Amino acid sequence: MTNLFTLRRAFVINQILIRHGLDEFLAPTPLSKVTGILKLFALSSNQKKQLNRGQRLNQALTELGPIFIKLGQMLSTRRDLLDDDIAIELSKLQDDVQPFDGDIAIAIFEEQSGRTIESCFQHFDKQPLASASVAQVHKATLIGGEEVIVKIIRPGIRKKIQADLKLLHLLAGWFEKYSAVGKRLQARQVILDYQATLYNELDLRIEAANTSQLKHNFNNSPLLYVPRIYWQHSHEKVMVQERIHGIPIGDIPALHAANVNMQKLAHRGVEIFFTQVFKHSYFHADMHPGNIFVNTSDPENPSYIAIDCGIMGTLNESDKRYLAQNFVAFFNRDYKKIAQLHIDSGWISKHIVAEEFESAIRTACEPIFGKPLDEISFGHFLVQLFQTARRFEMGVQPQLVLLQKTLLYIEGLGRQLYPKLNLWETAQPFLQEWLKETYGPKAVYNKLKTKVPDWLEQLPDMPEKVVTLIEQAELSQQNQLLLVSAVSELKSNQQKSSIGLRWALLGLAFIISCAFASSYWPDIENLTPTLLGLSLVSFVLSFRS
């Protein structure tokens, strides 16, 4: 039954894609065999051809529904894999769907919390403030008077997601098996990543924990404000969060009307990004315009407000060092350094010729420097770098893909706010200071200073540990001697066995000769006893060996 439903749904998807003139995406799959029949029912296919393929794919995914819209949004971040015309149009997909009834929202809250809506809120607005594919948001006021928003997971959404994911896995398998583009996109891995993201969004406790962590990281910061989570009212399918008030970052006319210092706002956005990445190693990975607001209470010193922390990125020390050194090398046009960083990190195979990789990076990045400095993009540098590195067998680094997506968002927003934004001017001192603080003499001293208390604590135990280490070394040496002795004995036994086998074969040869002698040379009386005697001596020597 499930297989029948999946195939029927795949048939419908095929029909919708053909209607939007997207036959090229279906050509390699088994369903392509019926595209000729489906074209009879896809009467608007030719009319759609006036749009570019990215626009047509945008419309097709919108028609297919919420799960496919979210897939398109995620794919739009993979600039290292997709052509620009497709990635740009997919980034315009809007996750805005029909809301579910407010009474159902109240029932879900009461089932999750075990309390009535009246015992938690002075007021709960049944009309949703916003509605998306996985959850919707309602305004409310707590008993204490605090204004909040209540985010509630859609009823039955898990089953719908599971059904669509099953179909997407099937289509991705076909796409990867029958299409060179599918192999390059690593379609099945993309769907696995998408699945992990979707299932995380179904548990609002994950988003609540992410929000609390980000708020802690920017506690009392003039740069970024993160709303408070009310944990006593938050559960798997419900999250209650402080309601914020600000101007959406995309509303440029409203920001100008509020006399906001746009240059400072743009620079602060870049500073927030680099602070999250290099100081906290934990960054908001979904900073599109719908999730960012501006506090304009002090227009000369505007601050950001971030919401929707469902997707967060983390970086380890190796990742941060890789990024910082690559950015610095890029602006110094030191392509040899970039190539060596990839090889040293182990992301590029050791057998790759460094000079070839360096040449490929130079070819990809030099055109970027043809632009004015205030138009050079860190994000597009990373896109070019990842695309080039993939040709040299670099595997997907999910944390860096998230970071690339976030950086493209931040750059786009920054230049929308202040077109003359010079990212390098903001980033260079930050990166160089971070490298100095992390790997300079002061950093080494600070690391030693933090380790000294542990060393002092372990000092009384050091004599015993040294004795144990010496004993283990001696035992290891004894084991090595035993091993050498055993190998020597084994070689000796092999030599003896080899000699014994030779005597046995010689004895067998004498017996065969004796048989021939008695049959063909009976006149030679002493030959048979002589051969038997030699055979006996050979066997005795064989057994002794």
DSSP result, 319-345: HHHHHHHHHHHHHTT-HHHHHHHHHHH
Range of the domain at 172: 2-94+162-197
Which of residues 486 and 326 earns the better pLDDT score? 326
What are the tokens at 360? 């490929």
- Global pTM reads 0.69
Residues 407 and 481 in one domain: no
Residues 368 and 433 in one domain: yes
Domain final residue pick, 197, 217, 242: 197
Residues 400 and 480 in one domain: no
Residues 319 and 466 in one domain: no
Residues 50 and 182 in one domain: yes
Determine the average pLDDT of the residues in 102-131: 94
Which of residues 90 and 256 earns the better pLDDT score? 256
Q: Which segments of 352-421 are extended strands (E)?
A: none
Residues 324 and 433 in one domain: yes
Lowest mean pLDDT among 50-54, 103-107, 114-118, 540-544: 540-544
pLDDT digits (tens, 9 = 90+) for 234-258: 999 999 999 999 999 888 899 999 9
Residues 170 and 43 in one domain: yes
Give the total residue count for the chain: 545
Please tell me the total count of domains within the chain. 3
Q: Which segments of 379-492 are extended strands (E)?
A: none
Local confidence band at 473 (pLDDT 50, 70, 90 cut-offs) = low
Determine the average pLDDT of the residues in 530-543: 67
Which of residues 534 and 363 earns the better pLDDT score? 363
Share the mean pLDDT of the chain.
77
Local confidence band at 392 (pLDDT 50, 70, 90 cut-offs) = confident
Position 37 scores a pLDDT of: 46
354-365 and 335-345 helices, crossing angle to 10°: 130
Residues 45 and 177 in one domain: yes
Local confidence band at 442 (pLDDT 50, 70, 90 cut-offs) = low
Residues 419 and 487 in one domain: no
Is residue 453 in a domain? no
Evaluate whether 5 touches 163 at the Cβ level (below 8 Å): yes
Residues 434 and 475 in one domain: no
Highest mean pLDDT among 5-9, 256-260, 504-508: 256-260
**Span between the terminal Cα atoms of the chain, in Å:** 74
For the chain, what percent of residues have pLDDT higher than 70? Answer: 68
pLDDT digits (tens, 9 = 90+) for 175-220: 777 766 566 666 777 788 778 878 888 899 999 999 999 999 999 9
Residues 376 and 483 in one domain: no
Is residue 220 in a domain? no
* Residue 383: other Cβ atoms inside 10 A: 22
Question: What residues are labeled active site?
Answer: 286
Residues 62 and 171 in one domain: yes
Evaluate whether 541 touches 503 at the Cβ level (below 8 Å): yes
**What are the angstrom distances between the C-alpha of 508 and each of 301, 497, 515?**
103, 16, 11
